Amino acid sequence: MTECSCDTSLQNGGSASEGWHWGGCSDDLHYGMWFSRKFLDAPYKNSSESDILSAMHLHNNEAGRVAVAKLMQVDCRCHGVSGSCAVKTCWKSMSSFEKIGNYLKDKYENSIQISDRLKRKVRRKEKNYRKIPIRKEDLVYTNRSPNYCVEDQKLGISGTHGRECNRTSEGADGCNLLCCGRGYNTHVVRHVERCECKFVWCCYVRCRRCESMTDVHTCK
């Protein structure tokens, strides 16, 4: 990554009247977009997959690139006497992976189902909304995901009933998310283990027997 070049299109430009100019080393977005298309899109352009799946992957790849471009940020550094910021040098840089990831997560939550009857063409599946165009930044899918919250033996899904969860976590292991809104049960578990072990000459280890009580939460 240290050998990546700067975006030369932003050098020596700016606005003298507003007291800033392009400088530094802007991230080369255009090269990144070109390389991404060459590296990520190639498998789907000559793929044995169904045409609609290839079209879906190509569209979503482009949506990811659009997200990176849309969230590019401008950073500036001030120059002047005693930090007066009379002149600023500015450059463009990518947003953090966290910011881009949150943006794409929102797009994922609002993704659009497309028809699987068309070849190489991305179009909404719902007839009432087909006149509304799908934007480049939208994520699309062909088939709805199964409900992983409920057991389905035919699909090999065990569901989340009885799964142990973390009451204080906001992540995937948290009770609010893992239990799919059904709530959770709490019960106390008694743990017995060896503790405070010491080596006694010669030659054995002597330990105490320790007991502890722990709250365990499981999904309803």
For residue 174, what is the domain's CATH number?
Answer: 3.30.2460.20
Q: How many domains does the chain have?
A: 2
In angstroms, the CA 25 to CA 62 distance is: 25
In this predicted model, which residue has the larger pLDDT, 197 or 15? 197
The band of 3, judged by pLDDT with boundaries at 50, 70 and 90, is low
- 52/90 same-domain check: yes
Q: For residue 90, tell me if it sits in a domain.
A: yes
- 65/168 same-domain check: no
Q: For residue 130, tell me if it sits in a domain.
A: yes
- 205/136 same-domain check: no
Which residues form the domain of 199?
160-220
Out of 100, 116, 144, pick the residue that ends a domain: 144
In percent, how much of the chain has pLDDT > 90? 47
What pLDDT is recorded for position 97? 93
- 54/104 same-domain check: yes
- 54/129 same-domain check: yes
In angstroms, the CA 123 to CA 136 distance is: 12
Q: For residue 155, tell me if it sits in a domain.
A: no
What pLDDT is recorded for position 65? 95
Out of 114, 144, 174, pick the residue that ends a domain: 144
47 pLDDT higher than 90 = no
Would you give the distance in Å from CA 135 to the centre of its chain?
Answer: 20
Out of 144, 172, 207, pick the residue that ends a domain: 144
Q: For residue 3, tell me if it sits in a domain.
A: no
Q: For residue 151, tell me if it sits in a domain.
A: no
Q: For residue 179, tell me if it sits in a domain.
A: yes
Residues paired with 76 in a beta bridge: 90
Q: For residue 152, tell me if it sits in a domain.
A: no
In the chain, which ranges are E strands?
A: 14-15, 20-22, 73-79, 87-93, 112-113, 140-141, 164-165, 184-200, 204-219
The band of 13, judged by pLDDT with boundaries at 50, 70 and 90, is low
Query: What's the rounded mean pLDDT across residues 6-12?
Result: 72
In this predicted model, which residue has the larger pLDDT, 103 or 1? 103
**Tell me: the pLDDT tens digits for 117-162?**
665 667 777 777 777 788 999 999 988 888 899 999 888 999 999 9
In angstroms, the CA 141 to CA 108 distance is: 10
